[in-house]
Amino acid sequence: MEGIIEVRNLTKTFEDKNNKVEALKDINLSINKGDIFGIIGMSGAGKSTLVRCLNFLEKPTSGTVLVDGKDLSKLTAKELRNKRMDISMIFQHFNLLMQKNVLDNICFPLSIAGVNKKEARERALELLKIVGLEEKVGAYPSQLSGGQKQRVAIARALANNPKILLCDEATSALDPQTTKSILELLKRINENYGITIVIINPF
Ligand code: ADP
């Protein structure tokens, strides 16, 4: 069976006048739909580069990335933008919009996707329930703990019903107890919604 993500002979080389870094060298992997797939490695091993190649934020030097059977290198810019809606991402430092409250952070990707305000608001409230943060709907990111910020980021990442959630060191800034609760939430999301989850963590 072909995976929802197929990486074949992926190579990424960063090169300037004086330096050449082979960040990724002949990577092959297959991630099945509905999997929770972990990638671990030491600092500098190429984890971030790999995860950025999975949604083509970084263009591979050679090799192919297929998502749902589609070779990302063959897509037009518009097709790639649409495809990226299927591939959401969360980060170590959450990347929330500090000037917007929780509700507006979650509505943001919906408004970009053209969803009307009322519908976006309803969807955001539903997502807040899923991540267990209904009572923080009007709070600003600065008023939230790290774990709560990551819950908002997860809600935002799920807003457009992605098929894949990429988690780039998503728990690295959290204490062990909070890490556990975020991993439990990701597991529940995987089980309840069938979203394929890729977790990238340092050693
Ligand atoms: P990790 O996420 O595992 O810490 P990275 O993917 O960030 O590793 O980096 C892998 C290697 O590629 C490192 O040697 C890093 O210095 C290099 N690298 C990453 N991004 C760039 C870039 N934009 N330009 C040059 N070198 C880079």
User: What band does 203 get if pLDDT is binned at 50, 70 and 90?
Assistant: confident
The CA 34 to ligand 1 mean position distance, Å, reads 29
pLDDT digits (tens, 9 = 90+) for 136-186: 999 999 999 999 999 999 999 999 999 999 999 999 999 999 999 999 999
Cβ neighbours for 112, distance < 8 A, ≥ 6 positions apart:
none
- Nearest atom in ligand 1 to the alpha carbon of residue 43 is 4
DSSP string covering 117-155: HHHHHHHHHHHHHHTT-GGGTT--GGGS-HHHHHHHHHH
Indicate if ligand 1 lies below 6 Å from the C-beta of 44: yes
Contact (Cβ atoms closer than 8 angstroms) between residue 32 and residue 188: no
State the closest ligand 1 atom to the C-alpha of 202, by its place in the atom list counted from 1.
3
Query: Would you say 93 and 112 are in contact if contact means Cβ atoms under 8 Å apart?
Result: no
H-helix or E-strand containing 77? helix 77-84
Task: Look at the chain and report how many structural domains it folds into.
Answer: 1
What is the domain-level CATH number for residue 161? 3.40.50.300
Which tokens go with 44? 């500098």
CA dihedral sign of residues 73, 78, 79, 83: positive
Does residue 21 line the site of ligand 1, with CB under 6 A?
Answer: yes
Helix axes 102-112, 117-130, angle to 10 degrees: 130
Boundaries of domain holding 114: 5-202
> Residue 113, SS3?
coil
pLDDT digit string, tens, across residues 50-74: 999 999 999 999 999 999 999 999 9
pTM metric for this prediction: 0.94
